[in-house]
Amino acid sequence: MKKHNFYAGPAILAPEVKEKASQAALDYQGIGLSLMELSHRGKEFVEILDKTQSHVREILSLSDEYAVLFLTGGASTQFFMTAMNLLDQNETAGYVDTGSWSSKAIKEAKSFGNIEVLASSSDKNYNYIPKAYDIPNNLKYLHLTGNNTIFGTQTKMWPEINCPIVCDMSSDIFSREIPVNKFGLIYAGAQKNVGPAGVTLVIVKKDIVGKIERQIPTMLNYATHIAKNSSFNTPPVFPIYVTMLTMEWIIKNGGAKAMEQRNQRKAETLYNEIDRNELFVGTCNTEDRSPMNATFVLKNENLGTDFLRLCEDAGIVGIKGHKSVGGFRASMYNALEHESVEVLVSIMQEMVKKFG
Amino acid sequence: MKKHNFYAGPAILAPEVKEKASQAALDYQGIGLSLMELSHRGKEFVEILDKTQSHVREILSLSDEYAVLFLTGGASTQFFMTAMNLLDQNETAGYVDTGSWSSKAIKEAKSFGNIEVLASSSDKNYNYIPKAYDIPNNLKYLHLTGNNTIFGTQTKMWPEINCPIVCDMSSDIFSREIPVNKFGLIYAGAQKNVGPAGVTLVIVKKDIVGKIERQIPTMLNYATHIAKNSSFNTPPVFPIYVTMLTMEWIIKNGGAKAMEQRNQRKAETLYNEIDRNELFVGTCNTEDRSPMNATFVLKNENLGTDFLRLCEDAGIVGIKGHKSVGGFRASMYNALEHESVEVLVSIMQEMVKKFG
């Protein structure tokens, strides 16, 4: 039975990505060795790294002012590494608190400078994106979260400001077009739209690095990885290769613009059903709904077990909501086909026939 | 043609490890999804993590006093993370400088306390392991490097001391038996004897953590990963799975003791040839030679191209020496078969016939 993968992350990969990854794990390009057995200084991996970077540049229309780095440690490491690298102890950065991940970013950054929380939607369990907030003139950077995976909201407007935006785009990079020049630094754990778990994409405007006085361990200094082109130490070879394959798949399928259209169409199909269906209700402010992660609940919680069983019978996996919100979450990353959303919608309609 | 993989790292994996990894990348256990697409909170990966840890415990005979963590960032991250977590600014740790990696560990640690370099073999381009050195009584820990991948030496005696040993075993963990109770912390980038690049094994005695006053970012604090069992954030799922497969392979083949015997036999075969062959000479002090990485040079450097061509024709890869030593390096990790060493030896003998 075909599976419909709605996991929030690690998440769905395109079929051809999986096939090529599987082949490379056994025998890379017929050379008689697995990609996992090859030196990261050898010509095979150097070519992979180079291609992955140029694909990322192409998809985001990045200028040479930006470096494309493949690090590890996930967004959780970037929460402190951004502030550690960009903010001196007496400087101020602004943060907008739109969910659990923003909160963690704020907590970690506080060790490295003055952190001003400009707005928060914690008053309503993060079911909306704050928009009307003042942005001081003295900020070193403004930290935003592109997409809130847990709560199902997305930042759709990027404020006009005179400092760079630092943005956690773990769950929506490459899913839509972005005005990339507004950003000083974008970071993303790979395991949603980029590739598998085990690599962290960091896109950084080179001229914002090295402007502070703090001593930084070599491995935590962006300057190290810029200078050594993500190969100061052994990078995560296989996860980077799967990232390259995913970038190739995105480009072949029309790039960020086509992904955005494809994702909008899936989101409309699902949100229309959530709004039409008498048994379900969405948890977020309508205009802030994320095309990546749709969060919704059953009005009658007692029907949850029935719904999950029907989903399971239809091959749907990963639909259970995060504990902070409850209910259900359908993650619809780039590689998810419209057909999978239709299957989910049909189950929601079947629920009405049975229990409506 | 069969390849003989002498890469220093990322390095050879056992055939059955590659086959199972390849299958899991496409479809994990027939569930219709790649392992890379599954939630790290799901039952599949939780089971993998659990098995990987218990295999590591079994191979090393680890007591419950130790935690087994799967982190990222490689040994290069552990160079600072060990000192950051274990040493207060006014405390002293001892380091023995046996190569490039030790030197980097010393450099990074210096930001976090008093670092006393007790001995160094830098005077002879690290071609031996210092043994007669005084160990002060006031050390918080003694840092050693188990195996020096670049220079081809191995620490074979563990000093009797009254503080824990912190050890970089990136290139020899699981290759031999070790007196594990002497160690407070062992770290290892996976990409030699543990698994593929992208995961870092840390074995830490729990009672040495949390004894200092420094504030540490959440992701850099061993206590975080001990408390959350390596799942505070999304761990590198696929590299951990390949690690599990490698641990299974080690256990099936007799554990650390059998690996040590197997590795000793390979090392003897190669070092005997190096010593017997009139064209080649080993670069290290005989008693300190590493069974993992044999470094040797041609007495007549001009024959290098011929030797490398013969190696290539025989399917040998990864034999070129590191730039710090020059010449050649044969890395003979656990998964390398004795047959591959025999092929290398036959090429060295062929060289004598042609050029001797």
The verdict on a CB contact (< 8 Å) between A22 and B23 is: yes
How close A229 gets to chain B, by Cα (Å)?
15
The verdict on a CB contact (< 8 Å) between A196 and B10 is: no
Q: How far apart are the first and last CA of chain A?
A: 28
Q: Which residues pair with A185 in a beta bridge?
A: A166, A204
Kindly state whether A32 is in contact with chain B, defined as any CB-CB distance less than 8 angstroms: yes
The verdict on a CB contact (< 8 Å) between B72 and A198 is: yes
How close B41 gets to chain A, by Cα (Å)?
9
Residue in B26, B42, B219 closest to A18 by CB: B26
How close A315 gets to chain B, by Cα (Å)?
9
Rounded to whole angstroms, how far apart are CA atoms B260 and A177? Answer: 55
Kindly state whether A3 is in contact with chain B, defined as any CB-CB distance less than 8 angstroms: yes
Residue A210 tokens read as 């090295």
How close A285 gets to chain B, by Cα (Å)?
27
Residue in B9, B218, B236 closest to A236 by CB: B236
Strands (E), A225-348: 280-282, 293-298, 316-317, 328-331
The verdict on a CB contact (< 8 Å) between B233 and A76 is: yes
Question: What residue has token string 């619809």?
Answer: A332
Question: What residue has token string 């009584």?
Answer: B137
Active-site annotation of A, residues: 101, 168, 192
Centroid of chain to Cα B83 = 20
Question: What residue has token string 């896109």?
Answer: A203
Question: What residue has token string 């990485």?
Answer: B293
The strand order across the sheet containing A328-331 reads: A280-282, A293-298, A328-331
Bond prior to A235 in cis (omega within 30° of 0): no
> What is the dihedral sign for C-alpha A306, A308, A312, A315?
positive
Contact A305, A320 (CB under 8 A): no
Chain B residues within an 8 Å CB radius of A242: 36
| Residue B139: CB atoms within 10 Å | 21
Residue in B26, B238, B317 closest to A239 by CB: B238
Active site residue B182: no
| pTM for the full predicted model | 0.98
> What is the dihedral sign for C-alpha A75, A77, A80, A81?
negative
Residues 150 through 179 of chain A touching chain B, CB cutoff 8 Å: none
Q: Chain A residue closest to B24 (CA)?
A: A22
Q: Mutate which of B17, B23, B39, B194 to test chain A, going by most A C-beta atoms within 10 A?
A: B39
| Residue B232: CB atoms within 10 Å | 17
Please report, in tens digits, the pLDDT of each residue of chain A (356 residues total).
Answer: 899 999 999 999 999 999 999 999 999 999 999 999 999 999 999 999 999 999 999 999 999 999 999 999 999 999 999 999 999 999 999 999 999 999 999 999 999 999 999 999 999 999 999 999 999 999 999 999 999 999 999 999 999 999 999 999 999 999 999 999 999 999 999 999 999 999 999 999 999 999 999 999 999 999 999 999 999 999 999 999 999 999 999 999 999 999 999 999 999 999 999 999 999 999 999 999 999 999 999 999 999 999 999 999 999 999 999 999 999 999 999 999 999 999 999 999 999 999 99
The verdict on a CB contact (< 8 Å) between A34 and B23 is: no
How close A132 gets to chain B, by Cα (Å)?
31
Q: Chain B residue closest to A17 (CA)?
A: B26
Tens digits of residue pLDDT in B93-137: 999 999 999 999 999 999 999 999 999 999 999 999 999 999 999
CA distances from B286 to B122, B275, B333 (A): 17, 10, 19
Q: Mutate which of A39, A191, A200 to test chain B, going by most B C-beta atoms within 10 A?
A: A39
- Phi, psi (degrees; rounded to nearest 5) at A259: -60, -45
Question: What residue has token string 């824990």?
Answer: B164
Please report, in tens digits, the pLDDT of each residue of chain B (356 residues total).
Answer: 899 999 999 999 999 999 999 999 999 999 999 999 999 999 999 999 999 999 999 999 999 999 999 999 999 999 999 999 999 999 999 999 999 999 999 999 999 999 999 999 999 999 999 999 999 999 999 999 999 999 999 999 999 999 999 999 999 999 999 999 999 999 999 999 999 999 999 999 999 999 999 999 999 999 999 999 999 999 999 999 999 999 999 999 999 999 999 999 999 999 999 999 999 999 999 999 999 999 999 999 999 999 999 999 999 999 999 999 999 999 999 999 999 999 999 999 999 999 99
Q: Mutate which of A5, A18, A36, A200 to test chain B, going by most B C-beta atoms within 10 A?
A: A36
Residues 182 through 241 of chain B touching chain A, CB cutoff 8 Å: 189, 191, 196-199, 215, 217-220, 232-239
Kindly state whether B130 is in contact with chain A, defined as any CB-CB distance less than 8 angstroms: no
Chain A residues within an 8 Å CB radius of B111: 215, 217
Residues 293 through 312 of chain A touching chain B, CB cutoff 8 Å: none
Q: Chain B residue closest to A239 (CA)?
A: B198
How close B99 gets to chain A, by Cα (Å)?
16
- Phi, psi (degrees; rounded to nearest 5) at A150: -75, -40
What is residue A1's predicted lDDT score, i.e. its pLDDT?
Answer: 87
CA distances from B145 to A52, B169, B197 (A): 34, 6, 19
Kindly state whether A77 is in contact with chain B, defined as any CB-CB distance less than 8 angstroms: yes
Torsion of the alpha carbons at B287, B291, B292 and B297, rounded to the nearest 10: 70
ipTM of this complex prediction, to 2 decimal places: 0.98
Chain B residues within an 8 Å CB radius of A75: 233
Catalytic-role residue among B20, B97, B101, B205: B101
What is residue B317's predicted lDDT score, i.e. its pLDDT?
Answer: 97
Question: What residue has token string 């739209």?
Answer: A193
Contact B271, B288 (CB under 8 A): no
Kindly state whether B25 is in contact with chain A, defined as any CB-CB distance less than 8 angstroms: yes
Helix (H, G, I), strand (E, B) or coil at A116: strand
Q: Chain A residue closest to B32 (CA)?
A: A3
Residue B344 tokens read as 């290398």
Rounded to whole angstroms, how far apart are CA atoms A8 and A331? Answer: 5
Count of pairs with CB atoms under 8 A, one residue in A, one in B: 202
Q: How far apart are the first and last CA of chain B?
A: 28
Rounded to whole angstroms, how far apart are CA atoms B183 and B65? Answer: 11
Kindly state whether B92 is in contact with chain A, defined as any CB-CB distance less than 8 angstroms: no
DSSP state of A170: T
Rounded to whole angstroms, how far apart are CA atoms B63 and B41? Answer: 26
Strand pairing category for B153-154 and B165-168: unpaired
What is residue A313's predicted lDDT score, i.e. its pLDDT?
Answer: 98
Kindly state whether B245 is in contact with chain A, defined as any CB-CB distance less than 8 angstroms: no
By C-alpha distance, which of B349, B351, B334 is closest to B5? B334
Active site residue B192: yes
User: How many helices (DSSP H) and strands (DSSP E) are in chain B?
Assistant: 9, 14
In chain A, the domains with their CATH numbers are 15-252 (3.40.640.10), 255-355 (3.90.1150.10)
Rg of chain B, C-alpha, whole Å: 21
DSSP state of A149: T
DSSP state of B176: S
Residue in A8, A75, A237 closest to B196 by CB: A237
Strand pairing category for B165-168 and B139-145: parallel
Q: Mutate which of A219, A225, A249, A319 to test chain B, going by most B C-beta atoms within 10 A?
A: A219
The Cβ-side half-sphere exposure at A54, using a 13 Å CA radius, reads: 6
The verdict on a CB contact (< 8 Å) between B7 and A75 is: no
